Each structure stands twice: as C-alpha cells, then as structure tokens.
Structure 1
Amino acid sequence: MREISLDRLRTLVTIADHRSFAEAARVLHLAAPTVSLHIQELEERIGAPLLSRKRGHVQPTAIGETLLAKARQLLDDAGQALDDARRQVQGLEGRVRLGASTGAIAHLLPRALEVLGRQHPAIDVQITVLTSKDTLARLAQGSLDVGLVALPQPTIAGLVIKPWRRDPVMAFMPVQWQCPARVTPRWLASKPLILNDSTTRLSHLTTKWFAAGGQQPVARIELNYNDAIRRLVAAGYGAAVLPHEDSMIPGQDAGTTVRPLRPALWRRLGIAHSRHVERATQHVLDVLLDLAC
C-alpha cells in the first residue's frame, strides 16, 4: 500500500484553512483539478468523505477533523526536520563526535568547549575517552568526526592528521623532595615512579627517554589517568613524567614540584578528521586550532 503523501495532506490543510478549493489552489500554486484529485485520493484511501461541500462552503467532516489534527502535526514535524537539517548544513547547530585521551580532555578541551559554547551554543560535542589508535580506527569507520591523537601517526586513507600542540614533558615530584633544577634519567630512575601504562604513547616516549640515559626503571604503579597520577605525586607516593600544558590551572599541583627534563622531552599531539567535514565540525576544528602551540 502506498504511503500518504505530505503534499496531499498539505492540500487538505490548506483547503480547511481557507474554506475553499479555489483559494487552496491559488495558495499552493496548483491547478484546480489537481487540488480536487488530491482530496479524492485521500478520501479513497480513508474510505470516507473528509470535506463537506454545501452551497460553496467547505468544511471538514468529523473524520476530516481527526485527519487534519494529525496532518498538521506531521507537516509541522516535517518542517522542523528540514529546518534542523538546514541549520546543520549551515553550521548553526549539530552534533560533533570527538575522541581524545584523558589528558587532553582534562586540560585542553575545557578551554575549547568554553569558547565553542559562547560562539556556537547549539553545537553539541560528544566526547569519548579513547587511545590514539582507537580514535583513528573510529575516525576511519566514520563513527567519530574529530580526534586528538599522539604524534607521529601513519598515513590513513581518507583522514587528515595535522600537528596541533607541542607540550613539554616534565618531572612531577613530591614537594618535600630535594630536586635538581633539571631532572636526568639517572637521577629520576633512582626514585619511586608513577608512570603511564605501557599502552600509551607517553609510556613509549618515557621509556625511550630513560633508555637514552642507560636506565630501565620499574614503576611502582602504572596508570592511564594523569590527574590520578598527579594526586599520587602530591601525596608523596612517587615521581611522574607528564606533559605540562599551558592550560593547566594555577595551584592545581599544590604539593608537587615540577622540573624540566634533561635532555628535554616533548609530547606532540595532532588533530585528525576526515577529508570532508560538515560546518559544525569545522567550527570545532577552528576553536581547537586556536589552542595550537
């Protein structure tokens, strides 16, 4: 059975609003026979008259009133759906799916989301905590729109991966420790350590940094949540090697001494997205790129 066309329902509503077939034809820019045919098709589908025509006066029947109420709602819903789609195409609203690590979410995204909320309040950013590998896989599958990933990464067909930030990796140590001005692998390896777990890119960077100094330390504990690591450092449990973003809140590492590493170490992040992005996604990318360093 064929579905009822919205055009037929729109014709019914217009006739009821203007109480005239001729006026409905004029408003809808249709020929008079076409308007009559629309109503005839509806009545055949329903199996009952929808409009009463007496002495040039047109009004809905009881069944016609029932269908009119539903028709108005359907037409309103269809119009709203089209408006919502147009606003998404124009970038005025929409949903953007973003994948990132806990470190980026905790210290970098809040600033971007604050700016985005002021400039584009109708854009909804949905955030998923993922490793760089999983973020890229989901971008390639189309289930994410934007990803914040550790660099370097291999080229992936259909994706754009561009440099975003270069943040120094530093030593975070309990404030009661006597610390050198610059921390070397040999000095730090002699201390109890709280390190990122081996699945992370930061763990690979840290391992190479220690190895370059001839050290292979064993961590006291491994975690994949930088804020938890910082709290353990502040509690005196051990030292950590973590990125230091310029967006970190002053005073948030009370109880912690932060020192640069020697040799210096950097955590590089990139922004990944598909080659073709919607306007809402582009607005998110623009705000993130303003945080580039």
Structure 2
Amino acid sequence: MELRHLRYFVAVAEERHFGRAAARLHIAQPPLSQQIRRFEAELGEPLLYRTTRSVELSPAGAVMLERGREILAAVDSALEDARRAARGEYGRLAIGFTGSSTYALLPALAAALREELPGVMLDLRGELLTPAQVAQLLDGTLDLGLLRPPVHVRELCTEVLLSEPLLAVLPNTHRLATASAVPLEALKDEPFVTYPSHFRSVVHDAVEDACAAHGFKPVAAHEVAETATLVSFVAAGLGVSLVPASVSNMTVQGAIYRPLAHDSTFVELAAAWRRDDQRPVLNNALDVIRRAIARHAP
C-alpha cells in the first residue's frame, strides 16, 4: 500500500465525490479514479459504492477511512517531528550544573530553555563538580556541562560564559558579619569549610590562591562537595568559607554573604560539550543559555 493511495482514498471518502476530491488533491479526476480502483484491487475488497449521483463507503471503506486518518495523522506528525529535530526544536538534552551555579542559574536557564525550546526534553543535574561533569560528557551521560574551567580535554569544547568574584560566607553571629566588606587576611585564623581538595575542585583551588595572595593558607576544618551543605555548615558555626558570587542567591538561615575587600580573585563559569556533537538542538540550547546568562548573571 502506498501512502498516496491512502491519501487519495481518504479525500474521496471525506468528500463523497470524485470531482471535489480531485480538486482538493490538485489532480485530474480520471487518474484519481484509476488509483482508487488499483487500491481496491490490492485490498481485494470494494471500498466505495459508486452510482452516477453519489459515492458511499462500503463496510471495508468505513474501517479504512477511520484507520487511514489515524495513519496519515501519525505520518504527518512523524514528518513534522523530523523537521523540528533538524531545526533543533526537538530532542533530549542532559545538562550538568556545577554546585555553585545550581542555585543562581539552574532555575533561570531551565525556564528559558522550556520557554524557547518546548519540544526539547531536559534532564537537568545540579551539584556536579567539574571532574564529574568532564567524565560524564566523555561517556555521553551529559550533553552539556556548566562547569568551572580550565578543562584540558581535547575531545571537549569550552566557552566561558561569565566571570564572578568570590564572596565571604560567614555565620550571622560572626564578628565581621556587619562589615560592608571583609578583609581576607582577617580570616587567616578561622576554620574554613571548603570544597574537596581530592576531587580537584576549581573553586577550592581559587580559594587557596586568594588566601595565599593575602599571606596565609586556609585551615580546612570540613570538606564538602555540595554547595548547600557548605553554606549550611557555615550557618551552623562550623567555620567560614569563600564562594562564587552566584551562591548568594541561595538563602540559608544563619549564613550571611559579604564582599571581600581588596581582592580581585574571580572564577569563571563555562559551557562544555563534546567537540563532535554538532546537533542543532545543542546549538540552539547554547544560544538560549548565552542569552539567559547575559540577563541573569550576578
């Protein structure tokens, strides 16, 4: 059975008239009649009862009309989905977020992606350190990562999306909690809650570099992988910490954020994806993310 035969039959069955069906299909009436007879011969049953004045459906024709409409609708839907996929409007994307960007950017980016790419199924995964994202990008678990560079992996492309300063996060009972800005050297004798050193956290290294520039090495009282846990530990009075500015979008009772005085340490946020992934849906998502970050960057 050819799809064109089915389309011809449905047109005749709906119009109940060969002339009107031919006009609807933009073909001549004799070839239309010939194709319908060929369709009936292939089926081995009449689909239409013809008289000089009318065209009526046979029992087989009534069933074929119902099923034919369903088949043609499914075919048209599949064709449209294929076209949307080719335009990058349809598909699936798994996107990872580094912990310190989860609370500031994930909600805004998720909203922007769903608004501009409603046909794309999103799998959004927060609280992933850069090494974990790199591993998942390489094995195909993630399609796109929002992580802290640098990333020295040839198979991945990276693009810096924003740069943000470090902030001090303190218990709200801390002696410097009311200061307009915190001198970093004033924290040299404080216990620090840090990101883990053994997972090669980029923010961990940035904090150590910032403290070294102010003459001390932070004493890590606790190492935690999740940003929410880190800020909660600070709120509980277990130490102080330095975090990227975007973390200040996460409110934890008992913790307070303060800018650093006389410190120019910045950390970057970058998009990363597989170099050989040229899918339009990925390119469209990157465009949406670039625009959304420009609007919502801290």
TM-score norm. by structure 2 comes to 0.76
Which amino acid in 2 is paired with 1:197?
Answer: P
**1:62 maps to what in 2?**
59
CA contact (8 A) 1:108 1:247 kept: no
The alpha-carbon distance between structure 1 residues 73 and 100, as it changes in their structure 2 partners (threshold 3 A), is: same
Distance in 2, Cα, partners of 1:202 & 1:259: 16
Please state how far the C-alpha of 1:267 moved relative to its aligned partner. Answer: 1.5
Per-residue CA deviations over 1:33-85 (Å, capped at 9, x if unaligned) read 54345434533443322222233522221111112111112222333344455
Change (3 A) 1:103 1:79: same
Q: CA 1:6 to 1:268, structure 2 compared with 1: closer, same or farther past 3 Å?
A: same
1:268 aligns with 2:264: no
What is the rounded CA distance, in whole Å, between the counterparts of 2:162 and 2:41 in structure 1? 66
Letter in 1 for 2:149: L
- Preserved CA contact (<8 Å) 1:233 1:256: no
Tell me which residue corresponds to 1:174: 171
Q: Distance in 2 between matches of 1:247 and 1:215?
A: 24
Provide Cα deviations, 1:201-260, integer angstroms capped at 9, x if missing partner.
22233344456645363x3332221122112211212222211228726x6564435352
Fraction of identical pairs, as percent:
25
Instruction: Name the CA distance, whole Å, in 2 between partners of 1:260 and 1:58.
Output: 84
Distance 1:155 1:191 in 2: 36
Cα drift, residue 22 of structure 1: 3.7
Equivalent position of 1:228 in the other structure: 229
**Residue pair 2:88, 2:284 contacting (<8 A) in 1 also:** yes
For the Cα contact (< 8 Å) 1:96–1:280, is it kept in 2?
Answer: no
Following superposition, the deviation at residue 152 of structure 1 comes to: 1.9
In the aligned structure 2, how far is the partner of 1:15 from the partner of 1:55? 15
Say whether residues 1:73 and 2:70 are aligned partners. yes
Tell me: CA distance 1:136–1:54, structure 2 relative to 1, closer, same or farther (3 Å). Answer: farther
Shift of 1:150: 0.9
CA distance in 2, matches of 1:161, 1:22: 61
Check if 1:205 corresponds to 2:206.
Answer: yes
Using a 3 Å threshold, how does the CA distance of structure 1 residues 203 and 76 change in structure 2: closer, same or farther? Answer: same
SS at match of 1:256: strand
Secondary structure at 1:232 match in 2: helix
Q: Does 1:42 align with 2:39?
A: yes
SS at match of 2:246: coil
Aligned residues: 284
Mark the CA change 1:65 to 1:257 in structure 2 (over 3 Å): closer, same or farther. closer
Residues of 2 paired with 1:188 and 1:46: CA distance?
Answer: 86
Q: 1:287 aligns with which of 289, 292, 298?
A: 292
Q: For residue 24 of structure 2, what is the aligned residue in structure 1?
A: 27
**Residues 86 and 280, structure 2, Cα contact 8 Å, conserved in 1:** no
Residue 194 of structure 2 aligns with an amino acid whose one-letter code is: L
Matched residue type, 1:104: S
Mapped partners of 1:139, 1:34: distance in 2: 56
Q: Which moved more, 1:272-281 or 1:8-17?
A: 272-281
User: Which has the larger displacement, 282-291 or 81-90?
Assistant: 81-90
Describe the SS at the equivalent of 1:73.
helix
Work out which of the residue numbers 110, 113, 116 in structure 2 matches 1:120: 116
Are 1:51 and 1:60, in contact at CA under 8 Å, matched by a contact in 2? yes
Q: Write the distance in 2 (CA, Å) between the matches of 1:85 and 1:258.
A: 51
Q: Distance in 1 between matches of 2:258 and 2:112?
A: 29
Question: In 1, distance between residues paired with 2:142 and 2:90?
Answer: 17
Which residue of structure 1 aligns with residue 5 of structure 2? Answer: 8
Q: Show the counterpart of 2:217.
A: 215
Task: Name the CA shift for 1:236/1:78 in 2 (closer, same or farther; >3 Å).
Answer: same
CA distance in 2, matches of 1:188, 1:289: 33
In the alignment, structure 2 segments of 5+ residues that lack a partner are none
Distance in 2, matches of 1:29 and 1:142, equals: 48
Contact 1:164 1:292 in 2 (8 A): no
